[in-house]
Structure 1
Amino acid sequence: MKKLLTLLFGLIPINIIKIFLLRTLGHAISYKSYIGFGILAVKNIELKKHSKIKHFNFIKVESLILEESSFIGNFNILNGPLTVFLEKHAGISKQNKIRRSKAPISYGKAVLHLGENAIIVSNHFLDLTKSISIGQHSILAGIGSQLWTHGYYHDDTGPARIRIDGEIKIQNNVYVGSRCIFNPGVVVNNAINIGAGSIISKNLMEKGMYVSQKMRHVDNNIITIRSKLKKVKGHNLIEEVYSKNG
């Protein structure tokens, strides 16, 4: 009922009335924040002063936390059982798709966490099967990047396959150019610049500039992968899932 009333109150065009009614539902929303016209189906909302949710967003998540002067721009889709936490001056600009499937496809909790002054620019895709964190003063720039926290490995023959999940952690002062693809479980350390069109399939630890590597052959099979990773148990998942994060 709270989520339904939040959705209905979020459609009210006058900001101060909208905030007043949302506060009556228990949401912690500053009168100095702003909520535009859009779909807002969220169990818990916390908006600090000067934070903004602009127009024509579809936001259906468990929890939405915007610290002071953080923002969500226009025409974004945030959908699934996840928490979105933006620290001061952080932002999600426009036309981004951020999604997570429900159980029994996903399991546990997932958080999209943007550190202070971190920015996701436009038209990017983030898969939140597991959590994604982007550190202070880092930017997912340009357009068309994809961050994947799950992937698959198929057996050599027959229908067998396993899913491999892993959180993505982008640290502080990182620049990511257009149309980069992040694989599950990767870590990008501080003070790294990633050129446009790069594929990030392993941890980047040494500061400096990185560009996409040439395609290479990896001698691998499903049995070897099972032996290297930890199987996820106890969540009634619909498929065989392994974690890259231990």
Structure 2
Amino acid sequence: MKLFLTFVFGLIPIGILRKILLKSLGHKISFKSKIGINVWFVKTIELDDYASVGYFNFIKLDSLNMETDSFIKNFNLLKGPFTVKLGTKSGISNQNKIRRAASPVSYGTASLQLGYNSFVVSNHFLDLTKSIYIGNNSIIAGIRTQLWTHGYYHSNEGENRIRIDGEINIKDNVYVGSSCIFNPGIKVGSAIHIGAGSVISKDLVEQGMYVSQKLRHIENDLDKIKLKLNKVVDFEVVEDVYIKE
């Protein structure tokens, strides 16, 4: 019933009334925040002073926590069993797709977290099969960057394949240019710039500028790949899943 009423109250055309009705359901919403007309299916909403959510977003989450001066702008899709926490002055701009499949495709918990003054700009895709953490003063800039927290590895013959999951962790003062692709399990250290069109397939540690690597050959052997990973055994999932750490 709370989810249904949250959906209904989110469509109320009068802003102050939207806040009052959402607060009546137990959501923690500052009267100094701003909320447009959106589709909400969220168990817990917490909006601090001057946090703002624009218009025509579809937000179906476990929880949304927005600190002071954080924002979600317009026409975003945030859908799946995960949590979102936006730090002070951080935000998600327009037309982003942030998704996670339900169990038994996904398992356990996942979270999207942005630190202080960090941004996901417009028209990006974030896969939340596992968590994505972005530190302070970092930006996913431009358009069409993809952050993938799962992928697949096939055997050389037949139907055998495994899924490989891994969190993405981006530290402080990181700039990501347009149309970059992040593979699962990637860690990016602080004070790193990533040029447009780059494919990030390994951890970036040393400070400085990175651009896309040349295409290279890697031996494809599923059994050897399995030895480097940890199999998920504590959850019922629909396929063989391994964790990249």
Structure 1: stretches of 5+ with no match in the other structure: none
Distance 1:12 1:128 in 2: 30
Task: Name the structure 1 match of 2:194.
Answer: 194
Structure 2: stretches of 5+ with no match in the other structure: none
4+ residue runs over 6 A deviation: none
TM-score (norm 2): 0.99
Q: What is the DSSP-based 3-state SS (H/G/I as helix, E as strand, rest coil) of the residue aligned with 1:61?
A: strand
* 1:224-245 Cα distance to aligned partner (Å, 9 max, x none): 0111100001211000000012
Distance 1:161 1:112 in 2: 28
Q: What is the DSSP-based 3-state SS (H/G/I as helix, E as strand, rest coil) of the residue aligned with 1:21?
A: helix
Task: Name the structure 2 match of 1:32.
Answer: 32
* 1:129-164 Cα distance to aligned partner (Å, 9 max, x none): 000011100000000000000000001111110000
Task: Name the structure 2 match of 1:149.
Answer: 149
Q: Any residues of structure 2 matched to 1:95-244 within 5 Å, and which?
A: 95-244=95-244
Task: Name the structure 1 match of 2:88.
Answer: 88
- 1:220 Cα deviation (Å)? 3.1
Distance 1:2 1:161 in 2: 41
- 1:121 Cα deviation (Å)? 0.4
Q: How many residues align?
A: 245
- 1:14 Cα deviation (Å)? 1.1
Q: Any residues of structure 2 matched to 1:53-92 within 5 Å, and which?
A: 53-92=53-92
Q: Once superposed, what is the RMSD of the aligned Cα atoms?
A: 0.6
* 1:70-125 Cα distance to aligned partner (Å, 9 max, x none): 00000000000000100000000000000000000000110000000000000000
Q: Contact (CA 8 Å) 2:165, 2:185: kept in 1 or not?
A: yes
Q: Which amino acid aligns with 1:183?
A: N
TM-score (norm 1): 0.99
Q: What is the DSSP-based 3-state SS (H/G/I as helix, E as strand, rest coil) of the residue aligned with 2:142?
A: strand
Q: What is the DSSP-based 3-state SS (H/G/I as helix, E as strand, rest coil) of the residue aligned with 2:237?
A: coil
Distance 1:198 1:239 in 2: 30
- 1:15 Cα deviation (Å)? 1.2
Q: Which amino acid aligns with 2:224?
A: T
Q: Which amino acid aligns with 1:164?
A: I
Q: Which amino acid aligns with 1:4?
A: F
Q: Contact (CA 8 Å) 2:156, 2:220: kept in 1 or not?
A: no
Q: What is the DSSP-based 3-state SS (H/G/I as helix, E as strand, rest coil) of the residue aligned with 2:129?
A: coil
Q: What percent identity do the matched residue pairs reach?
A: 60
* 1:11-40 Cα distance to aligned partner (Å, 9 max, x none): 011111111111111101101111101101
Q: Which amino acid aligns with 1:134?
A: I
Q: What is the DSSP-based 3-state SS (H/G/I as helix, E as strand, rest coil) of the residue aligned with 1:238?
A: coil
Q: What is the DSSP-based 3-state SS (H/G/I as helix, E as strand, rest coil) of the residue aligned with 1:42?
A: strand
Distance 1:141 1:129 in 2: 22
Q: Which amino acid aligns with 2:42?
A: V
Distance 2:15 2:87 in 1: 22
